[in-house]
Structure 1
Amino acid sequence: MNTDFSVVDTANNAWMHQPNPVQNNDLFSQKAIYATSLIKIQKFLDRAIVYAWYTVKSERRPPTLTPIRWVWRLAGAYHSSRYTSPLMEKASHRFAALGHWNLAQWAAQKAREETDHDLLALLDIQSMGYDAEAVVQALAPSTIEDYVNYFTKIVEMTNPIDCIGLCYASERLGTFVGEEYIRKVEALLPPGTKATRWLRVHSNIGSEVKHVQDIVEIVAQLTPQECNLVARACYETALLRFMPPKEEYISDDELQDILKPLKISTCLQAKSAFS
């Protein structure tokens, strides 16, 4: 490529950029440097997640996914989602009190984006043929409780900057869920069952990719010390996500005993399919 010219592809055409050799503060160079910086930041945060995976490196694997175990996972999704908006709203207020207006704005936006995602999980549980409210009262996976407790702890800190790392790890892991996996889940469910609303929203066909990009741009505005705090929170969050429960996984028979009394009429189940 010519050292004086660069070809840049845009959505509609390609245009030529000729830098001004006299002008040091070149806009194109600034954009290139910024883009490179974002890539480095994302790799830095991703390494924290990978390190957590190698740290856990457990031989224990979750039981094979079955329709009844999907209900158990949806209960976990409900419990993890119901706290996100109020906790991010609290984080926004704390950032504002510190004068971190850009972080306050991001946290407030995050709170709005995550509003009612717990309701998606409830709809999915109802579509599976169960009283959703009763199910989430009966099922609360311990790993999700640990995640929520950690989330609450870091938001309660004077400077809740760790919540940026938690959000990054959660959203980034969601980007590895794609259409192929969603179809595999749907293939396990009874024919015509619509119970992947929550999963679709929290996958790479939903908003997770955009959310990851937003967080990387936020981290690019932080000091090196703050970036390290965010990376540490990424690592700690990923540990919680990868770590198997301390107790044995609940069995399908145990789930059946819990869920059997919580079945609903086919009329209500059909109604939720159109929600």
Structure 2
Amino acid sequence: MDRKRRIGLDSIFQKISSKELVGAELQENSLIYSVVGFLPATDCTDNALLISNLAYLLSQKGLNTCVVDLKVFYPNLYQYLDAAPPKRGSGLLRLLKSDKVDFRDELIETKYERLYLLSPSQQDLMEEYFDFEFGHLERVIDTLKSMFDLVLIDIPNNPPLEFCLGAMKFCHIGFFTAAERMEAAVNMVKLLDFAQSVGISTAKFMSVVMMNLQNIEFDYKVMREMGFQIAAALPLVKEATVCAHDGRLYIKDSPIVNKYFKRDIQKLADRLADQ
């Protein structure tokens, strides 16, 4: 590991080595709900765009923030944060396989202060992720929770996969992300019913972030009737996608930011920072 990067991590995480966690005094977190999950309910959402820009805003508030990409088959958050992906077998996969691995060696330090990434490798084989259970994911999330002020998790909508239901189980609060699609409310209810049937609390996933809005006539009343609350509504912005393709953050690097996008993502950041 690069010495400068290791020193930077050490300066923030004095007690992180998983080999030394037993009996160590863990960092006290002033945030009650520090592990936040984002779960797509429909097509035409872009979790990586939302999470990367939101994580940057939170880090700028002085919060040590870790983004976790649980899309183990198709990780992409490293691209949005302009970071080099981990090599095959390292990153998330190595931490899941062993409780003896030092987290500092597997975290990716982004170019943004106080913002880190834990990602699978794009070169990992799919079958390498089939045998993990809830306990493996719980251990990783619990360690990250003790290390960071906030942990933002990109959850794949793949209910048979442990990384979907496990993340729903172990995060403190969650947000569905949805587009203006007629199946949005049905998909959310169906997934929550399944999660509840296997003993996972679903009350924490009753907030929705609407993504890529195009002013389509859409019946939001259905969501309200089913108990969902709209936490933020982000319009479709071409420049945001262009920035992502270039490895830039729209909320930071675009010379002109859509005022509605900025207002609602800032509102969401304030909500998470002030909880």
Normalised by the shorter chain, which TM-score bucket? Answer: under 0.3
Which structure features the higher share of helix residues?
A: 1
